[in-house]
Structure formats: structure tokens, C-alpha cells
Amino acid sequence: MASATILKSSFLPKRSEWAAARPSATAQPMPASSLAVRAGSYADELVKTAKSIASPGKGIMAMDESNATCGKRLASIGLENTEANRQAYRTLLVSAPGLGQYISGAILFEETLYQSTVDGKKMVDVLTEQNIIPGIKVDKGLVPLAGSNNESWCQGLDGLASRTAAYYQQGARFAKWRTVVSIPNGPSALAVKEAAWGLARYAAISQESGLVPIVEPEILLDGEHGIDRTFEVALKVWAEVFFYLAENNVFFEGILLKPSMVTPGAECKERATPEKVAEYTLNLLKRRIPPSVPGIMFLSGGQSEVEATLNLNAMNQSPNPWHVSFSYARALQNTCLKTWGGRPENVKAAQDALLTRAKANSIAQLGKYTGEGESEESKEGMFVKNYSY
């Protein structure tokens, strides 16, 4: 009966204020250039990169925490935020033996892209030897959006073309830009439009440098709202994102998406089962995402490790038009980080913890995860208000 209720309450199209506010595209003569899909000289390579990342049983390890955020993680295990400690932790992650069986791409922070492991090998080379494609976070973080309801916008477009060209030279083959949308703060039409426009400009620039852009408008978990409200906001956000991606001639076959799953707000009393999250999320994707997009790589957003895996598994119970997988940071690294605790003698156990999560999510990508035998720790939620990257 759940689906009948959903159909009635929220999936029926509502009049969109965004669409209503925009001058009708059909009323304008269509210039010849907007009919062409601009792929640029890297088109074949973009398709190949996106397809290899979105290959069966594989997903992305997000390890692109900015130095400030990495510092918070290290502080949680009593370590100082030094370059040496960040290097030791990231060496542990990239060199976990056999990680490439489950992970096809790793998103790095700029420091790591140019860094060597503690044994003096380039981090990017260690990843490539594991058959893991290196990626790079290219946004410059969030700042307050003037004129909005205490919302944010994402910086980083200035100088982006020269940075993406340099990152390609350094071995990166895909990029990430994370902006956020807050439900309790609105979201205002201004914030949604700004988020979508920034993502589209970034995507076009990245493709021209040969990097597959991961398009990530994170709809924050913060709030007391129910799942229907998240669904409604997500429909608006993704409509806007695809409108501007198309306007900027972004080549859809050469992008990857990183959405939030459609869940109730973190402070909503009514929780949703994995089946319900999957039903709402897949409905959103079917309504908004063209099948030419090769992969949907979800963020975990503060869900527990096991919750994120169960939800992914529920979405892979029948074939989807796109590869539906993961690009988790917290839901892959949490137990690993705690197990390590900054002690060299714990490196192997910490790598095993990472491999356990990577394997579980790989199985969930194939729709065959049962959730059996998981530790209590991996069931603990990680939601933090106003989380930044």
C-alpha cells in the first residue's frame, strides 16, 4: 500500500514555481548551437572514464576532506592535524590490499593528489596500480549566499580551467564539486538556482579538461521534515540542475551524479525503511535523470555505515537505467579511522575494516547484501549539523 500512498501524496506532478518563473524556452527561437551536444576533444575518454568508474560491483571512495575537515576527523582519534598525520592516514587508505576489487575511483583533496605515501610512492601511482582512478575535489567550499535565507553557495569557478588542466596532468581523471541545499532554510529559489548554475559551469569546464565531473548538489539531512518534503525539494533541485547542465552544453554521457538519498530529515521522528528510501529515491531518479547518464554514486550524508549499505542494496533489487552505486566518505571510513587510532600496529586491522565496508557496498551495488554479521559500531549514525567538507 505504501506505493499507492506515495503516488497520491507526492509523486503526482505539482505546478512548479521554478518552471513558472522562467521565460518559456519554447517561445524563443532556438539557436543552432544549443542543438549540438558539445563533447569536445575528450569525449571518448570521458565516456570511458565514466563507464569504468560505473562498472558492476564498484563504487567510489571519497577521501577528499579539506585539511580543516580532515583535522576534525584526526582530532576524533586524538591526533594532531599535521601533514604527516594526514599522509599516514591516506597512505593506509590507498594502499589497502585488494581495494581495487570494490573501488573504481578515489576522490582526493589537492594535497593528496600531489603527495607521496609514507614509503615515498606517489599516492596517484598507488591508486592506479590498484586499478583505482584518481579524482580531485575542485570546489573551494561554501560561503554565505548574500540575499538568501542564511543559505550557502559554493566557490571555485575563478581559475578553474587552469586548475583542472593541471590536475589532469597530475593524473586526475574525474572531478567533484559539492554544493549544498538546506531544507529548513528554504530552500530559496535563489539558492537552488545558484547551486545548479555553479554545478553546470563547473561540469562544462571539467569536461573541457578531460575530467569527468561528479555533479553533487547535496540536500542536507538537517531538519525535522518528512520524506515527502525531501522528495519535493529533490525534484526541484534536479530539475534545475539538468536545465542548466543542458544550457551549458554538458555532455551527459561523460558525467556522474552524486545525489543524497531521499530520506526523512535527521530529526524527523518517523524513520523510513530501506525499501521506502529506495522507492522514493528511484522515483526521483526516474523522473529527473536521463538514461544517458552512466552512473549515480550516492553520498552517505551522515547515515550509519550499515544504513547506507542497506539503502543502496534496496535500490539495486531490479535493473536500473544507470549504474546505482556509492561514493561514500563517512560510511566507508568511520570504523576504519577508529580502528586505526593513529597507531602503526593497527594499520592492518584498519585496512581490513575499510575492505569490509568496501566489499559490503560492492555486494549492495549488485543487490545481494544481507546485513548479516555487521558490528554494532557500523550501525551508529554519523549525522552532524551543518557538516562541511
Report the interface residues with ligand 13P, using CB under 6 A: 62, 64, 107, 176, 178, 216, 299-301, 328-331, 389
CB of 138 to ligand 13P, least distance (A): 12
Q: Which helix (H) or strand (E) holds 381?
A: none
CA-to-CA distance for 306 and 311, rounded, in angstroms?
9
CB of 62 to ligand 13P, least distance (A): 3
C-alpha gyration radius of the chain = 20
- Residue number, 180 or 205, with CB nearest to ligand 13P: 180
Find the catalytic residue in 58, 176, 236, 258: 258
Q: Does 176 qualify as catalytic in the annotation?
A: no
CB of 308 to ligand 13P, least distance (A): 7
CA-to-CA distance for 346 and 59, rounded, in angstroms?
25
- Residue number, 6 or 308, with CB nearest to ligand 13P: 308
- Residue number, 88 or 219, with CB nearest to ligand 13P: 219
Cα of 248 vs its chain's centroid, Å: 21
CB of 147 to ligand 13P, least distance (A): 26
If we measure between CA atoms, which residue out of 289, 247, 290, 288 comes closest to residue 25? 247
At residue 8's C-alpha, the angle toward residues 286 and 190, to 5°, is 60
Q: Which residues pair with 134 in a beta bridge?
A: 106
Q: How far apart, in Å, are the Cα atoms of 136 and each of 216, 221, 339?
A: 13, 24, 26
CA-to-CA distance for 278 and 284, rounded, in angstroms?
10
Q: How far apart, in Å, are the Cα atoms of 192 and each of 186, 241, 277?
A: 10, 9, 23
CB of 64 to ligand 13P, least distance (A): 5
Q: Which helix (H) or strand (E) holds 196?
A: helix 189-208
If we measure between CA atoms, which residue out of 65, 96, 76 comes closest to residue 349? 96
- Residue number, 6 or 65, with CB nearest to ligand 13P: 65
Cβ–Cβ under 8 Å, residues 100 and 138: no
- Residue number, 256 or 293, with CB nearest to ligand 13P: 256
Q: On the CB side of 318, how many CA atoms lie within 13 Å of its CA?
A: 4
DSSP structure class, residue 9: I
If we measure between CA atoms, which residue out of 243, 240, 256 comes closest to residue 206? 256
Total residues found in the chain within this entry? 389
- Residue number, 6 or 234, with CB nearest to ligand 13P: 234
- Residue number, 64 or 279, with CB nearest to ligand 13P: 64
CB of 135 to ligand 13P, least distance (A): 9
Q: Does 258 qualify as catalytic in the annotation?
A: yes
CA-to-CA distance for 32 and 165, rounded, in angstroms?
29
CB of 94 to ligand 13P, least distance (A): 15
Whether the bond between 187 and the residue before it is cis, its omega within 30 degrees of 0, is yes
Find the catalytic residue in 194, 216, 307, 374: 216
Q: Hey, which residues are catalytic here?
A: 216, 258
